[in-house]
Structure 1
Amino acid sequence: MTGKHISFILSVALCFAPLASGQETMTEEHKRWLKEKFAAKHQALIPKVAVADMFYGCNTVRKTDPVPYQVPDIIRKMDKNLLAEKLKLCLGEETPQSDNALNFGLVGCFNDQLSELSDKERMEKMELVESAILRLSREQRQQSFTKCVTEQAIRYLQ
């Protein structure tokens, strides 16, 4: 499978996750309206969502914090400065721009996007996501993460 195919699979998985859970997806028109109405809030929320995803993915693997946080709770309830400190502690010597941090972010974002699926379906899709992460170039992973976080932030505006 080529990188383009894997990137496409990630995009398709993201787009169809709400359909698989029985939820209706927002129309493009509704998304556009939300972006226009909440553009400033959306732009302010994107960095926190990205950091939340990175921390979730990192903490799931490295377990630097004993609390098994869920992405929605991190985004909605955790102070952004505390979140930044927790990510820094989890990443250790690495920076948020590192490959590992990007991979953690993808895992966190897709895990959140697929959270409405059954455990079995989510685990199957997350295996595909994790497999795809290993095959994608950094640029493709960055594009996928940017798209995923943007969509995710829209959901948290509602």
Structure 2
Amino acid sequence: MSGAGSVSGGAAGSDDACLFCGIASGAPPAHVVLADDVAVAFLDARPVFKGHVLVIPREHVETLVDLPTEAVGPYFERVRAVARAVEDGLGAAGTFVAMNNRISQSVPHLHTHVVPRNRKDGLRGFFWPRVKYADEAEAESYATKIRKALDSTTAE
């Protein structure tokens, strides 16, 4: 796994019209916290809480059911690593990990939300209020903390 802040190489099986396939290939820009041959993880542009990460498979698939069986384990290894990094890097007490399939799926490319959680943070049920980063520098500071935690996790 790579915690690199940039994405390189196109995604085989990518969809030119898909926003997330574009991010996986390096355009449009995103605050990437992990990029390897299996998955790309980046800050959500409309986070529930600051540090909210989306993990996507590099290959374009719309839903979990569409992800090839042999890709499920490696994909969720990345989701697990990001969840740990969000907790460790941001000092979060826990994470909320979720996925929509078609209904409420804003981008039709499989993605898993990893949201930092703390007690009394205001998140109730499935109501997802959204926050904004003050600017690109603040967003990048969150991405850097998560990348550093990922790098220390993969070094173990």
TM > 0.5 between the two? no
Structure with bigger strand share is 2
Bigger Rg, which one? 1
TM-score between the two structures when normalised by the length of structure 1: 0.32
TM-score between the two structures when normalised by the length of structure 2: 0.32
Larger relative contact order, structure 1 or 2 (CA cutoff 8 Å, min sep 6): 1
